[in-house]
Amino acid sequence: WVVDPTERGLLNQVLVNVFGMEPANMKLDHPMTLIVLANGFIGASIGMLILTSAVRSIPKHLFYAAGADGAGPLSIVRHIVLPALRWPLSYITVFQSLALLVSFEYIFLIMGASRSTMTMAMLAYTKTLAPDIGSGQYAYGAALTLILIVIGVIAALLLWRLTNMKALLSQPKIEVH
Protein backbone atom coordinates (compact mmCIF):
# COMPACT_ATOMS: atom_id res chain seq x y z
CA TRP A 1 0.00 0.00 0.00
CA VAL A 2 2.79 2.45 0.83
CA VAL A 3 4.60 2.00 -2.50
CA ASP A 4 1.56 1.38 -4.68
CA PRO A 5 2.44 3.04 -8.01
CA THR A 6 -1.03 4.60 -8.39
CA GLU A 7 -2.31 7.72 -6.64
CA ARG A 8 -3.64 5.48 -3.81
CA GLY A 9 -0.12 4.72 -2.53
CA LEU A 10 0.95 6.59 0.59
CA LEU A 11 4.31 7.59 -0.89
CA ASN A 12 2.66 8.97 -4.04
CA GLN A 13 0.05 10.83 -2.00
CA VAL A 14 2.86 12.57 -0.10
CA LEU A 15 4.90 13.23 -3.26
CA VAL A 16 1.95 14.67 -5.20
CA ASN A 17 0.02 16.52 -2.48
CA VAL A 18 2.83 17.77 -0.24
CA PHE A 19 5.79 18.24 -2.58
CA GLY A 20 3.93 18.72 -5.90
CA MET A 21 6.03 16.04 -7.61
CA GLU A 22 5.05 13.38 -10.10
CA PRO A 23 3.97 9.94 -8.79
CA ALA A 24 6.83 7.45 -8.48
CA ASN A 25 6.88 3.74 -9.18
CA MET A 26 9.48 2.54 -6.68
CA LYS A 27 9.13 -1.11 -7.68
CA LEU A 28 10.19 -0.45 -11.27
CA ASP A 29 12.35 2.67 -11.03
CA HIS A 30 14.28 2.06 -7.77
CA PRO A 31 13.81 -1.55 -6.60
CA MET A 32 17.02 -1.79 -4.55
CA THR A 33 16.29 1.50 -2.77
CA LEU A 34 12.90 0.13 -1.83
CA ILE A 35 14.43 -3.10 -0.48
CA VAL A 36 17.09 -1.21 1.50
CA LEU A 37 14.42 1.03 3.06
CA ALA A 38 12.21 -1.94 3.93
CA ASN A 39 15.17 -3.77 5.44
CA GLY A 40 16.12 -0.66 7.39
CA PHE A 41 12.68 -0.39 8.95
CA ILE A 42 12.56 -4.09 9.81
CA GLY A 43 16.11 -4.23 11.16
CA ALA A 44 15.78 -0.99 13.08
CA SER A 45 12.58 -2.12 14.77
CA ILE A 46 14.13 -5.34 16.06
CA GLY A 47 17.28 -3.51 17.15
CA MET A 48 15.30 -0.80 18.93
CA LEU A 49 13.30 -3.38 20.89
CA ILE A 50 16.47 -5.07 22.09
CA LEU A 51 18.33 -1.84 22.83
CA THR A 52 15.37 -0.28 24.64
CA SER A 53 15.02 -3.26 26.93
CA ALA A 54 18.79 -3.29 27.53
CA VAL A 55 18.85 0.39 28.47
CA ARG A 56 15.88 -0.05 30.79
CA SER A 57 17.60 -2.97 32.52
CA ILE A 58 20.54 -0.80 33.64
CA PRO A 59 20.15 -0.27 37.40
CA LYS A 60 19.09 3.29 38.20
CA HIS A 61 21.48 3.54 41.15
CA LEU A 62 24.41 3.57 38.71
CA PHE A 63 23.09 6.76 37.14
CA TYR A 64 22.46 8.34 40.55
CA ALA A 65 25.94 7.39 41.76
CA ALA A 66 27.57 8.76 38.61
CA GLY A 67 25.61 12.00 38.97
CA ALA A 68 26.63 12.29 42.63
CA ASP A 69 30.26 11.78 41.63
CA GLY A 70 30.00 14.66 39.16
CA ALA A 71 29.87 12.70 35.92
CA GLY A 72 28.45 14.55 32.94
CA PRO A 73 26.02 13.12 30.37
CA LEU A 74 28.78 12.03 27.96
CA SER A 75 30.71 10.36 30.76
CA ILE A 76 27.59 8.49 31.87
CA VAL A 77 27.02 7.25 28.33
CA ARG A 78 30.67 6.23 27.93
CA HIS A 79 31.14 4.50 31.28
CA ILE A 80 27.67 3.15 32.10
CA VAL A 81 25.43 2.88 29.05
CA LEU A 82 27.88 1.67 26.38
CA PRO A 83 29.40 -1.13 28.52
CA ALA A 84 25.88 -2.29 29.37
CA LEU A 85 24.98 -2.34 25.67
CA ARG A 86 28.02 -4.31 24.55
CA TRP A 87 26.26 -7.68 24.61
CA PRO A 88 23.02 -6.48 22.92
CA LEU A 89 24.98 -4.62 20.22
CA SER A 90 27.08 -7.70 19.53
CA TYR A 91 23.96 -9.86 19.32
CA ILE A 92 22.20 -7.42 16.99
CA THR A 93 25.28 -7.27 14.74
CA VAL A 94 25.52 -11.04 14.42
CA PHE A 95 21.77 -11.56 14.08
CA GLN A 96 21.21 -8.83 11.49
CA SER A 97 24.23 -9.91 9.43
CA LEU A 98 22.96 -13.47 9.23
CA ALA A 99 19.39 -12.31 8.61
CA LEU A 100 20.55 -10.15 5.69
CA LEU A 101 22.29 -13.17 4.22
CA VAL A 102 19.02 -15.08 3.90
CA SER A 103 16.67 -12.14 3.21
CA PHE A 104 13.63 -13.53 1.50
CA GLU A 105 10.15 -13.00 2.84
CA TYR A 106 9.69 -9.23 2.81
CA ILE A 107 11.56 -8.89 -0.49
CA PHE A 108 9.32 -11.53 -2.03
CA LEU A 109 6.20 -9.91 -0.56
CA ILE A 110 7.14 -6.47 -1.88
CA MET A 111 8.65 -7.34 -5.24
CA GLY A 112 7.43 -10.82 -6.12
CA ALA A 113 9.81 -13.01 -8.10
CA SER A 114 11.50 -10.04 -9.77
CA ARG A 115 15.00 -10.67 -11.09
CA SER A 116 16.08 -7.14 -10.17
CA THR A 117 15.97 -7.95 -6.46
CA MET A 118 16.84 -11.64 -6.47
CA THR A 119 18.80 -12.92 -3.48
CA MET A 120 20.35 -16.37 -3.17
CA ALA A 121 17.55 -17.49 -0.84
CA MET A 122 14.93 -16.31 -3.35
CA LEU A 123 16.79 -18.01 -6.19
CA ALA A 124 16.84 -21.30 -4.25
CA TYR A 125 13.10 -20.94 -3.67
CA THR A 126 12.29 -20.17 -7.29
CA LYS A 127 14.40 -23.06 -8.56
CA THR A 128 12.76 -25.60 -6.24
CA LEU A 129 9.28 -24.61 -5.11
CA ALA A 130 7.93 -21.56 -6.92
CA PRO A 131 5.11 -22.49 -9.28
CA ASP A 132 5.46 -21.42 -12.92
CA ILE A 133 8.94 -19.94 -12.49
CA GLY A 134 11.19 -22.93 -12.99
CA SER A 135 10.36 -25.13 -10.08
CA GLY A 136 11.45 -28.71 -9.85
CA GLN A 137 15.20 -28.16 -9.97
CA TYR A 138 15.70 -29.57 -6.49
CA ALA A 139 19.43 -30.30 -6.77
CA TYR A 140 20.14 -26.75 -7.94
CA GLY A 141 18.10 -25.28 -5.08
CA ALA A 142 19.79 -27.61 -2.58
CA ALA A 143 23.23 -26.59 -3.85
CA LEU A 144 22.35 -22.90 -3.46
CA THR A 145 21.06 -23.56 0.04
CA LEU A 146 24.23 -25.44 0.97
CA ILE A 147 26.31 -22.51 -0.28
CA LEU A 148 24.21 -20.18 1.88
CA ILE A 149 24.75 -22.43 4.90
CA VAL A 150 28.52 -22.48 4.39
CA ILE A 151 28.63 -18.70 3.97
CA GLY A 152 26.43 -18.31 7.06
CA VAL A 153 28.63 -20.53 9.22
CA ILE A 154 31.78 -18.69 8.08
CA ALA A 155 30.12 -15.32 8.72
CA ALA A 156 28.86 -16.43 12.15
CA LEU A 157 32.32 -17.68 13.19
CA LEU A 158 33.97 -14.51 11.90
CA LEU A 159 31.47 -12.29 13.70
CA TRP A 160 31.84 -14.43 16.84
CA ARG A 161 35.54 -13.64 16.75
CA LEU A 162 35.19 -9.95 15.84
CA THR A 163 32.58 -9.19 18.51
CA ASN A 164 34.50 -11.20 21.15
CA MET A 165 31.42 -13.21 22.10
CA LYS A 166 33.51 -15.73 24.04
CA ALA A 167 34.46 -13.06 26.57
CA LEU A 168 30.88 -11.84 26.79
CA LEU A 169 29.61 -15.36 27.47
CA SER A 170 32.33 -16.29 29.97
CA GLN A 171 31.61 -16.96 33.62
CA PRO A 172 31.41 -13.85 35.78
CA LYS A 173 34.36 -13.20 38.04
CA ILE A 174 32.15 -12.03 40.91
CA GLU A 175 29.54 -14.26 42.49
CA VAL A 176 26.29 -12.52 43.27
CA HIS A 177 23.83 -14.13 45.67
Model pLDDT, residue 56: 93
Q: What is the pLDDT of residues 2-48, one digit of tens each?
A: 888 887 888 888 888 898 888 888 888 888 888 888 888 888 888 99
Question: ∠ CA(45), CA(48), CA(53), 5° rounding?
Answer: 135
pTM, rounded to two decimals: 0.70
CB 51 within 8 A of CB 88: yes
